Amino acid sequence: MRVPERFLLAAILVALVTGLLLSGWSWKLDQLFYDWKIQHTPRAPAPEILIVAVDEKSLEEMGRWPWSRSVHARLVNKLAAAGARVVGLDILFSETASNDPNGDRELVDAVASSGHVVLPVVNTEHTLGGQLVESLPYGALADAAAAIGHVERQLDPDAIVRSTYLKGGLQTLRWPSFALAMLTIAYPERGGDLPGLRAPSSDDPTAMAWVRDHQIWIPFAGPPGTIPRASYVDVVNDRLDPAIFAGALVVVGATAVGLGDLLPTPVSGHSQPMPGVEIVANELDVLLAGLAIRPVDTIWWWCIAVLLVLAPALLYSRFPRWSLLIWGGFILLNIGLSMLLLHYTRYWYAPATAFIVQGITYPMWSWRRLVQTLIYLNRALRDLHGERVVPEAISGLPLSESMSFLRCIVPVSGAVVLDESHRQLDAWGDAPDPPVIGQVPAGEWRVHGADAWNRIQSGENSLYFGVRFQTDAGPDSADLDLLTPAALNFGARTEDTPRNVVELMQRRLQQVQAATEKIQFMRRFVADTVAEMAQGVVVTDGLGHVMLANARAEKYLGVDESGRLEKREITELLFKLEIEGAYNWPEILRTAMVDDKPVEMPVRTRDGLHLLVQLSSFVYNANRNRGLLMSLADVSSLRESERQRRQLRAFISHDLRSPLSSILAITGIAREDPGRIGSEMLDRIDNHAHRTIELVEDFLEFNRAQTADWGTFQNLNLSVVVHDAIDSVADKASMKKIRLVRRLPDEAPVTGDPALLERALINLLDNAIKYSPPQTVVSIGIEETPHEVRCTVEDAGHGIPAEDKDRIFEQYYRSGARREGRPPGLGLGLPFVQVCMERHRGRVEVDSEIGRGSRFALVFPGGQASME
Ligand code: ADP
**HEC per residue, 835-849:** HHHHHCCCEEEEEEE
Average of per-residue pLDDT across 691-708: 84
Rounded to a whole number of angstroms, the CA Rg of the chain reads 60
Ligand 1 centroid to 710 CA: how many Å?
27
E strand or H helix at 655: none
What pLDDT is recorded for position 356?
94
At residue 249, what are phi and psi to the nearest 5 degrees? -105, 110
pLDDT digits (tens, 9 = 90+) for 242-253: 999 999 999 999
Per the document, the length of the chain is 868
**484 in contact with ligand 1, CB cutoff 6 A:** no
Q: Give the pLDDT score at 621.
A: 80
Looking at ligand 1, which residue's alpha carbon is closest to its atom 15?
Answer: 815
Closest CA to 230 of 220, 238, 221: 238
Ligand 1 center to 667 CA (angstroms): 32
Q: Which atom of ligand 1 is nearest to the CA of 816?
A: 16
DSSP string, 665-681: HHHHHHHH-GGG--HHH
Centre of ligand 1 from the C-alpha of residue 640, in Å: 22
Residue 827 CA, closest ligand 1 atom number: 8
Most confident residue range from 11-15, 270-274, 315-319: 11-15
CA of 616 to the centre of ligand 1 (A): 48
Residue 376, pLDDT > 90, answer no
Q: Per-residue pLDDT for 780 more than 70?
A: yes
CA-nearest residue, atom 25 of ligand 1: 799
- Count of CB atoms within 10 A of residue 51's CB? 25
* pLDDT for res 18: 95
pLDDT category at 451 given cuts 50, 70, 90 is: confident
d(CA 742, CA 778): 9
pLDDT grade, residue 390 (50/70/90)? very low
- The identity of residue 178, as a single letter, is F
Which ligand 1 atom sits nearest the alpha carbon of residue 815? Answer: 16
CA separation for the pair 343, 36 (Å, rounded):
12
771 lines ligand 1 (CB under 6 A): yes
Q: What is the mean pLDDT of residues 209-231?
A: 92
Task: Please give the pLDDT value at position 313.
Answer: 84
Tell me if 760 CB under 6 Å of ligand 1: no
For the CA of 817, the closest atom of ligand 1 is 14
The pLDDT of residue 387: 60
Q: In angstroms, what is the span from residue 809 Cα to ligand 1's centroid?
A: 9
**b/e for 786-818, b at 16 or more Cβ within 10 A?**
eebbbbbbbbbbbbbeeeeeeebbebbebbeee
Ligand 1 atom with least separation from CA of 797: 24
**Dihedral, 433, 434, 440, 442 alpha carbons, nearest 10:** 90
Decide which of 845 and 577 is more confident.
845
| Residues 189, 868: Cα–Cα separation, whole Å | 124
Q: Residue 532: name the closest of 551, 548, 547 by CA.
A: 551
Ligand 1, atom 19, lies closest to the CA of 767
Mutate to test the pocket of ligand 1, among 738, 814, 820 (most ligand atoms within 8 A of CB): 814
CA dist 443 and 807 (Å) reads 75
**621-625, Cβ contacts within 8 angstroms, sequence gap of 24 or more:** 625/541, 625/542
pLDDT for 498: 65
pLDDT tens-place string over residues 473-508: 778 888 888 887 777 777 654 455 666 777 777 777
Which residues, including other chains, have CB under 8 Å from residue 177's CB and lie 6 or more apart?
Answer: 149, 150, 151, 152, 164, 165, 166, 167, 168, 283
Å from CA of 799 to ligand 1 middle = 9
Is 795's C-beta closer than 6 angstroms to any atom of ligand 1? yes
| Helix, strand, coil fractions of the chain, as percent rounded to 5 | 45, 20, 35
**Contact by Cβ (8 Å): 133, 124:** yes
Distance 793 CA to ligand 1 centre (A): 13
How far apart, in Å, are the Cα atoms of 860 and each of 355, 557, 715, 720, 843?
Answer: 92, 33, 12, 15, 7
User: What sign has the CA pseudo-torsion 312, 314, 320, 321?
Assistant: negative
CA of 815 to the centre of ligand 1 (A): 7
Compute, in angstroms, the gap from residue 814 CA to the centroid of ligand 1.
6
Q: Given a cut of 60, is residue 818 above it in pLDDT?
A: no
Q: For ligand 1, what atom is nearest to the CA of residue 828?
A: 6
| Mean pLDDT in residue range 271-276 | 88
Atom of ligand 1 at shortest range from CA of 825: 2
b/e map 309-345, b = 16+ CB within 10 Å: bbebbbbbbeeeeebeebbeebbebbbeebbebbeee
Q: Confidence band (pLDDT; 50, 70, 90) for 525?
A: confident
Atom 16 of ligand 1, nearest CA residue: 815
> If you measure from the C-alpha of residue 671 to the centroid of ligand 1, how many angstroms do you get, rounded to a whole number?
38
List Cβ neighbours of 8 (8 Å cut-off, separation of 6 or more): none
Per-residue pLDDT at 812: 67
The single-letter code of the amino acid at 109 is: D
DSSP 111-166: HHHH--EEEEEEEEE-TTTT-EEEEPPPHHHHHHSSEEEE---EE-TTS-EEEEEE
Confidence at 202, pLDDT banded by 50, 70, 90: low
Instruction: Tell me how far the alpha carbon of residue 827 lies from the centroid of ligand 1, in angstroms.
Output: 7
864/143: higher pLDDT? 143
C-alpha 232 chain-centroid distance: 77
Distances (CA, A) of 569 to 114, 267, 447, 565, 813: 106, 79, 69, 8, 42
Does the CB atom of residue 778 touch ligand 1 within 6 A? Answer: no
Q: In the predicted model, what is the mean pLDDT of residues 729-734?
A: 92
Cβ(765) – ligand 1 distance below 6 Å: no
pLDDT on residue 29: 94
Please report which helix (H) or strand (E) contains residue 54, including its range: strand 49-54
827 lines ligand 1 (CB under 6 A): yes
Using one digit for the tens of pLDDT, what is the confidence trace for 224-239? Answer: 999 999 999 999 999 9
Q: Which of 324-333, 433-442, 695-704 has the lowest mean pLDDT?
A: 433-442
Find the range with the poorest average confidence among 93-97, 650-654, 762-766, 781-785.
650-654
> pLDDT-based confidence at 584, cuts 50/70/90?
confident
- Residues 6 or more apart whose Cβ sits within 8 Å of residue 675: none
Q: How many A from CA of 37 to the centre of ligand 1?
A: 113
**pLDDT tier for residue 416 given thresholds of 50, 70 and 90:** confident
Taking the centre of ligand 1 as the mean of its atom positions, its distance from the CA of residue 430, in whole angstroms, is: 94
- Separation of alpha carbons 679 and 677, rounded Å: 7
For ligand 1, the distance from its centroid to the CA atom of residue 829, given in whole angstroms, is 7
Whether the predicted pLDDT of 781 surpasses 90 = yes
Q: For residue 832, give the ligand 1 atom closest to its CA.
A: 6
Measured in Å, how far apart are the chain's first and last C-alpha atoms? 71
Q: Distance from the CA of 808 to the center of ligand 1, in angstroms?
A: 7
Closest protein CA for atom 21 of ligand 1: 767
pLDDT of 461 higher than 90: no
Residue 487 backbone dihedrals phi, psi, to 5 degrees: -65, -45
| Residue predicted with more confidence, 153 or 205 | 153
Answer yes or no: is the C-beta of 830 below 6 A from any ligand 1 atom. Answer: yes
DSSP state of 789: E
Give the residue, by CA position, lying nearest to ligand 1 atom 26.
Answer: 800
Least confident window among 74-83, 110-119, 138-147, 706-715: 706-715
Distance CA 599, CA 615 (A): 5
Please choose from 830, 832, 834 the residue to mutate so as to test ligand 1's pocket, defined by most ligand atoms within 8 A of CB: 830
Whole-angstrom Cα distance, residue 7 to residue 14?
10
With cut-offs at 50, 70 and 90, classify the pLDDT of residue 863.
low
Quickly count helices (H) and strands (E) in the chain: 25, 33
Q: Does the CA dihedral 353-356-361-364 come out positive or negative?
A: negative
Query: Contact at 8 Å (CB) between 411 and 427?
Result: no
- pLDDT band of residue 410 (cuts 50, 70, 90) is confident
CA 778 – ligand 1 centroid, Å: 15
- What's the gap in Å between 804 CA and the centre of ligand 1? 10
Could you give phi then psi for residue 226, rounded to 5 degrees?
-70, -40
Question: Residue 816 above 70 pLDDT?
Answer: no
CA distance 273 to 275: 7
Report, as an integer, the average pLDDT of 624-652: 85
815 Cβ closer than 6 Å to some ligand 1 atom: yes
CB count, 10 Å around CB of 350? 23
Q: Alpha-carbon distance 557 to 553, whole Å?
A: 6
Ligand 1 atom 7: residue of nearest CA: 829
Average pLDDT over residues 34-56: 93
Among 328-337, 402-411, 832-841, name the most confident range.
Answer: 328-337
CA of 801 to the centre of ligand 1 (A): 11
Q: Whose CA is nearest to atom 20 of ligand 1?
A: 767
769 lines ligand 1 (CB under 6 A): no
Q: Does ligand 1 come within 6 angstroms of the Cβ of 798?
A: yes
Q: Point out the ligand 1 atom lying closest to the alpha carbon of residue 814.
A: 14
CA of 606 to the centre of ligand 1 (A): 29
Which ligand 1 atom minimizes the distance to the CA of 768? 23
- pLDDT of 426 strictly over 80: yes
Mean pLDDT, to the nearest integer, of 307-324? Answer: 88
CA–CA gap between residue 619 and residue 542 (Å, rounded): 9
Task: Say how many C-beta atoms besides its own lie within 10 A of residue 778's C-beta.
Answer: 25
- Which ligand 1 atom lies nearest to the CA of residue 826? 2
Contact in structure between 117 and 89 (CB atoms under 8 Å): yes
Of 197-206, 681-690, 827-836, the poorest mean pLDDT is in: 197-206
3-state SS class at 291: coil
Residue 829, ligand 1, Cβ within 6 A: yes
- Cα–Cα distance between 198 and 216 in angstroms, integer? 9
CB-CB contact of 78 with 236 (8 Å) = yes
- Ligand 1 mean position to 709 CA, how many Å? 26
Looking at per-residue confidence, does 836 or 132 come out higher? 836
- Which residue is closest in CA terms to ligand 1's atom 4? 825
Nearest to 92 by CA among 282, 276, 328, 237: 276
pLDDT of res. 836: 92
DSSP-derived pairing of the beta strands 777-784 and 788-794: antiparallel
Q: Indicate if the pLDDT at residue 604 is higher than 50.
A: yes
Atom of ligand 1 nearest to the CA of 772: 24
Ligand 1: does its nearest atom lie under 6 Å from the Cβ of 285? no
Q: 3-class secondary structure for 703-744? A: HHHHCCCHHHCEEEEHHHHHHHHHHHHHHHHHHCCCEEEEEC
Mutational pocket test of ligand 1: of 771, 807, 848, the residue with most ligand atoms within 8 Å of the beta carbon: 771
Q: How far apart are CA 196 and CA 540, in angstroms?
A: 78
Q: What is the 3-state secondary structure (H, E, C) of 443-482?
A: CCEEEECCEEEEEEEECCEEEEEEEEECCCCCCCHHHHHH
> Ligand 1: distance of its center to the CA of 649 in Å?
22
C-alpha distance from residue 112 to each of 118, 235, 335, 384, 519 (Å): 11, 20, 52, 99, 102
